[in-house]
């Protein structure tokens, strides 16, 4: 899979709140499909479909422990997405700083334009 396709798959997988919740749970350690399904009002097959999306995106891996197939989070795709987002964070921060400076300048101009107490125009 190309880096662009991997990034697309990562963001597509993260677009769903159930999959984000599953990843949040896996961030605290491995879990079985049944353990992952417990907090959700959906069937085990529905959870399995979400897990397949996460697995295809490379966000999770499934192991084998006798009859149990624990899932665990894989950090590399998340790190790639974070790196991609970082470039835009720097842009947003710069944009916010410019807007903040402009607002301060406008406040100062407005304060200077106010008539002083006791003066008439």
pLDDT tens for each residue of the chain, 121 residues long: 898 999 999 999 999 999 999 999 999 999 998 899 999 988 889 999 999 999 999 999 998 877 778 999 998 889 989 998 888 877 777 777 777 777 888 888 888 777 766 655 5
* 112 found inside a domain: no
* 33 found inside a domain: yes
Helices (H) then strands (E): counts for the chain: 5, 2
Q: How far is CA 90 from the centre of its chain?
A: 16
pTM (whole model) above 0.85: no
Give phi and psi for 54, each to the nearest 5. -65, -40
* 38 found inside a domain: yes
* 119 found inside a domain: no
Report the CATH number at residue 37: 1.10.10.10
* 96 found inside a domain: no
Domain containing 54: what range?
3-74
Q: Is the distance from CB of 10 to CB of 57 less than 8 angstroms?
A: yes
Residue appearing with tokens 């003066």: 119
């Amino acid at each position: 899979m190309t880096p662009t396709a991997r990034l697309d798959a990562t963001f597509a997988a993260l677009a769903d709140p159930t999959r984000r919740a599953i990843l949040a749970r896996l961030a605290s350690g491995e879990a079985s499909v049944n353990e992952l399904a417990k907090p959700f009002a959906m069937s085990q097959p529905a959870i399995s479909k979400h897990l397949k999306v996460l697995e295809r995106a490379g966000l999770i891996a499934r192991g084998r422990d006798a009859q149990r197939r624990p899932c665990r989070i894989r950090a590399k795709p998340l790190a790639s997405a974070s790196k991609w987002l970082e470039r835009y964070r720097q842009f947003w921060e710069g944009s916010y700083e410019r807007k903040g400076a402009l607002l301060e300048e406008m406040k100062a101009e407005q304060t200077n334009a106010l008539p002083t107490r006791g003066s008439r125009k």
